[in-house]
Structure 1
Amino acid sequence: MHVCVIGAGVVGVASAYALARAGHAVTLVDGNAAPAEGASHANGGQLSYSYVAPLAGPGVLPQVPGWLLRHDSPLRFTPRLDPHQWRWALAFVHACRASVADATTAEMLRLAYLSRDVLHAWQADAPFDFDHQRNGKLIAYRSPALLDKARKLVAYQAQQGSDQRVLDAGQTVGLEPALRGMGATLAGAIHTPSEEVGDCARYTQGLFDALGALPGTQRLMRTAVHRLRVQGKRVQAVETAQGDVTADAYVVAAGMGSRALLSPLGVDVPLYPLKGYSLTVDVAPGDDTAPAISVTDYERRIVYARIGQRLRIAAMVDMGARDASVDPGRIALLKRQVSEAFPQLDLSAARAWAGLRPATPTGRPRIGQAPGHANLWMNLGQGALGFTLACGSATLLESLMAGRAPAIDPAAFRP
């Protein structure tokens, strides 16, 4: 079967690679000059397999009013005259029920563990360097009450196979001395020793190169996709700036660009862009001013990942942002907050970036056949977990397209 995959972010490239490994002819199409130019470019870098609790949870809604009123909030909401924004927001509120969040967490953990196993298997088969390491992860809490609540999530995720433990402040600093800068504000942390990090852009580029070495593959970059041409219930071609691309089946994995392609076909996907920011700081080997273990500052929603000789710092959710431009005010706030937690860290040469995470209200991606179209498939909506879930999502998609029983139950992710 010849498959055309639209989108060269980490999810799209992983999808193309999984299909090509399975023996399909694959054409990958993207309007950018290189892979991973969108949300995959400078994301947080954490491969957070054991911590995939959705953004929508029972503890979120009580915090929203305070976040919206604070100038230093991790969440900024810009209301628009956009019915889709408000439908998405209402669906998000509905997903904040404990029963929904618990079910979503279990489903996402299964997908995340599949993704971990697939990434490891692919690396064992055809290894390449993307600053990959298993250095563990700390979720650091300032509030003792929130740390106590986190114990319940640890207990629940342990039932799903997670290996985590709760640390007090002294144990946390003993494990990661760079957190001493938080001082008395640190209540403790959740430690997950199995978590990993890597450079998402380098990983995507590595898969992209490996894809090009497989037989029957074609990579069409700088090829902007205009629309999908449909006759009846089948896609006939992808119309691009360089002409039509035809195939037997088509996969839309274009992040936020997916809505514009699918909506004219009557396929309404619940995607909304959640804008996030990152800083990249060069650190010398042995520099203990930056954490060696991945850290998430829970209350401030800031993540820190040591990727080779760089520290990646990612944070914030801007809902209602129109584009991926860097907001100097948000970057200045991020730098202030980072300096409070890590006062010895030099941010003077930090490189700023922003991207649009393609999120669903529940946090669950949509993977499977597009409703009403026999040869159209979707792999989208991974949100902030695109790097973590890419390999599992791609493998699940390939199994469904081949008509094989997948490794996990696909029902939760069905479009």
Structure 2
Amino acid sequence: MHILVLGAGVVGTTTAWFLQKQGHQVTVIDRQNYAGVETSYANGGQISVSHAEPWANPSAPMKVLKWLTRPDAPLLFRPRFDPAQWRWAVSFLTQCTSAKAAHNIRQMVNLGTYSRGQLQALRKDVGVEYDHLEKGIIHFYTDPAEFDGAMEPTRIMQDLGCDRQIIDADRAIELEPALKPIKDRIAGATYTSEDESGDARMFTQNLAKRCAEAGVEFRYGTEILGFEYAGDRILGVQTIRGGHHETLRGDSYVLSLGSYSAILARKIGLLLNIYPAKGYSITVPVKDEQAAFNVSLTDDEYKLVFSRLGDRLRVAGTAELNGYGRELNLTRCRAIVRRTAEIMPEAGHWDQAEFWTGLRPATPSNVPYIGKSHFPNLYLNTGHGTLGWTHSCGSAAALADIVDGRKPEVDFTFSGI
């Protein structure tokens, strides 16, 4: 079967890999000139099963209200005259119950555990390089109330098989000495030894090369305008490249365009509740090897994640619900630098920070759309929010099974199934 995958980010590229592995002819279409140069370009770098507490939880509404007037807030809602934004926001509030948060944690832990295993198997089989480290992830808390609030989600994750251990400040420093400058401020921490980190862009681009060697065709520099369809069947994808319009046809199609999936789907009457959550990151060169971290970290109070990528340090986080604009908000960038330099002042050349922003495709529940749409030959693999890198291989492997009529080997509620 000839399958067109729309999008060459980490999710689209892994989807192409798993589909071609199962014998399909695959063409990937992307408006950029390379794979992995939008949301996958400079994300937090974590393969984090333990980062499964959804934004929508019982404490979220009060936090969002408190943060409304703070330009550097971890989660910032900028109201717009945009029905899609308000629909998303209302749905987000309905997800903020204890029962729904627990359900969504289950979904994300199950998919994350499966995905991490698929990534490890792919790495073993293919040998893709991406500055990966297998040193686990420490979530540290400098606010006692935040640490107390993390206990129930941690218990749920533990019950689901995520080995997220509750540890004290001494153990956190033993695991990652780079945290020593703030030892007296650490109220508590958790450690998940099986979690990993790595450069999502490097992984995506190197896997795209392997895909091409295996026969996958990549049509870069090709903008997708819409679908051609009749009744309940997709007939083709309308594109433009170098001023030339062309309709590309296949037997089936996979929508993996991140935040832009919702815009394209809306043109054929398919409402995906995905809204862009603009995230920020900084990347800096290591300054002092002894002071720099190796274990990946999560600062839960400020919603920042830290990953070591070779001789670089990546710190990413915050979310801004403010439409599709890609302009940098320097206030938010500087807030990341300020917090990171405060925690480990000698780790990196913080004055050399490279700023980046990208649009995470967020659903209100943080659970992605994976599966068949109501168009029998249109599949969805999109809406992964902050966990696209974590969930990419598992989502792709599961979708490839669905395309071939098999039940995926993971306990997850797939879209349309």
> TM (normalized to structure 2)?
0.95
Could you list the runs of 5+ residues in structure 1 that have no partner in the other structure?
none
The Cα offsets for residues 171-214 of structure 1, whole Å up to 9 and x where unpaired, read as 22232221122243221211111110010001101110111111
In the other structure, the counterpart of 2:290 is: 288
**In structure 1, C-alpha distance between the alignment counterparts of 2:71 and 2:275, rounded to whole Å:** 23
Answer whether contact 1:396 1:410 (CA < 8 A) is retained.
no
In the other structure, the counterpart of 1:354 is: 357
Task: Report matched runs for 1:98-109 at 5 Å.
Answer: 98-109=98-109
Q: Which amino acid aligns with 1:196?
A: E
Task: Report matched runs for 1:241-390 at 5 Å.
Answer: 241-242=240-241, 243-283=246-286, 287-345=289-347, 346-371=349-374, 373-390=375-392
Answer whether contact 2:280 2:355 (CA < 8 A) is retained.
yes
**In structure 1, C-alpha distance between the alignment counterparts of 2:183 and 2:122, rounded to whole Å:** 42
Q: Are 2:410 and 1:408 equivalent residues in the alignment?
A: yes
In the other structure, the counterpart of 1:236 is: 235
**In structure 1, C-alpha distance between the alignment counterparts of 2:199 and 2:131, rounded to whole Å:** 6
Answer whether contact 2:112 2:391 (CA < 8 A) is retained.
yes
In the other structure, the counterpart of 2:115 is: 115
Answer whether contact 1:68 1:77 (CA < 8 A) is retained.
yes
In the other structure, the counterpart of 1:27 is: 27
**In structure 2, C-alpha distance between the alignment counterparts of 1:205 and 1:401, rounded to whole Å:** 24
**In structure 1, C-alpha distance between the alignment counterparts of 2:414 and 2:405, rounded to whole Å:** 17
Q: Which moved more, 1:86-95 or 1:290-299?
A: 290-299
Q: Which amino acid aligns with 1:91?
A: S
**In structure 2, C-alpha distance between the alignment counterparts of 1:259 and 1:154, rounded to whole Å:** 32
Answer whether contact 2:48 2:195 (CA < 8 A) is retained.
yes
Task: Report matched runs for 1:22-61 at 5 Å.
Answer: 22-61=22-61
Cα distance, 1:312 vs. partner? Answer: 0.5
Cα distance, 1:413 vs. partner? Answer: 4.2
Answer whether contact 1:276 1:354 (CA < 8 A) is retained.
yes
Q: Which amino acid aligns with 2:247?
A: D
In the other structure, the counterpart of 1:2 is: 2
Q: Which amino acid aligns with 1:63?
A: K
Answer whether contact 2:107 2:413 (CA < 8 A) is retained.
no
What is the alpha-carbon root mean square deviation over aligned residues? 1.5
**In structure 1, C-alpha distance between the alignment counterparts of 2:185 and 2:65, rounded to whole Å:** 23
Q: Are 2:394 and 1:395 equivalent residues in the alignment?
A: no
In the other structure, the counterpart of 2:148 is: 148
Answer whether contact 2:372 2:378 (CA < 8 A) is retained.
yes
Q: Which moved more, 1:40-49 or 1:181-190?
A: 181-190
**In structure 2, C-alpha distance between the alignment counterparts of 1:269 and 1:153, rounded to whole Å:** 27
Answer whether contact 2:139 2:298 (CA < 8 A) is retained.
yes
Q: Which moved more, 1:361-370 or 1:316-325?
A: 316-325
Q: Which amino acid aligns with 2:274?
A: L
**In structure 1, C-alpha distance between the alignment counterparts of 2:272 and 2:111, rounded to whole Å:** 20
Q: Which amino acid aligns with 1:231?
A: A
Answer whether contact 2:58 2:96 (CA < 8 A) is retained.
yes
Q: Are 2:213 and 1:213 equivalent residues in the alignment?
A: yes
Cα distance, 1:116 vs. partner? Answer: 1.0
Aligned with 1:179: secondary structure? helix
**In structure 2, C-alpha distance between the alignment counterparts of 1:162 and 1:291, rounded to whole Å:** 23
**In structure 1, C-alpha distance between the alignment counterparts of 2:112 and 2:317, rounded to whole Å:** 21
The Cα offsets for residues 83-126 of structure 1, whole Å up to 9 and x where unpaired, read as 11111001001101110110111111111111111111111111
**In structure 2, C-alpha distance between the alignment counterparts of 1:246 and 1:294, rounded to whole Å:** 43
Q: Which amino acid aligns with 1:64?
A: V
Task: Report matched runs for 1:59-70 at 5 Å.
Answer: 59-70=59-70
**In structure 2, C-alpha distance between the alignment counterparts of 1:139 and 1:411, rounded to whole Å:** 27
Aligned with 1:265: secondary structure? coil
Cα distance, 1:13 vs. partner? Answer: 0.6
Task: Report matched runs for 1:69-218 at 5 Å.
Answer: 69-215=69-215, 217-218=216-217
**In structure 2, C-alpha distance between the alignment counterparts of 1:322 and 1:248, rounded to whole Å:** 31
Could you list the runs of 5+ residues in structure 2 that have no partner in the other structure?
none
The Cα offsets for residues 116-163 of structure 1, whole Å up to 9 and x where unpaired, read as 111111111111211112111111111223223322222221111111
Q: Which amino acid aligns with 2:32?
A: N
In the other structure, the counterpart of 1:223 is: 222
Aligned length: 412
The Cα offsets for residues 203-259 of structure 1, whole Å up to 9 and x where unpaired, read as 1011101111113x2111111111111112111111111412110001110111212
Q: Which amino acid aligns with 2:350?
A: L
**In structure 2, C-alpha distance between the alignment counterparts of 1:413 and 1:178, rounded to whole Å:** 42
Answer whether contact 2:71 2:332 (CA < 8 A) is retained.
no
The Cα offsets for residues 337-384 of structure 1, whole Å up to 9 and x where unpaired, read as 22222222421111110000000000110011112x121111100001
Q: Which amino acid aligns with 2:366?
A: G
> TM (normalized to structure 1)?
0.96
Q: Which amino acid aligns with 1:280?
A: T
Aligned with 1:411: secondary structure? coil
Cα distance, 1:164 vs. partner? Answer: 2.0
Q: Which amino acid aligns with 1:36?
A: G
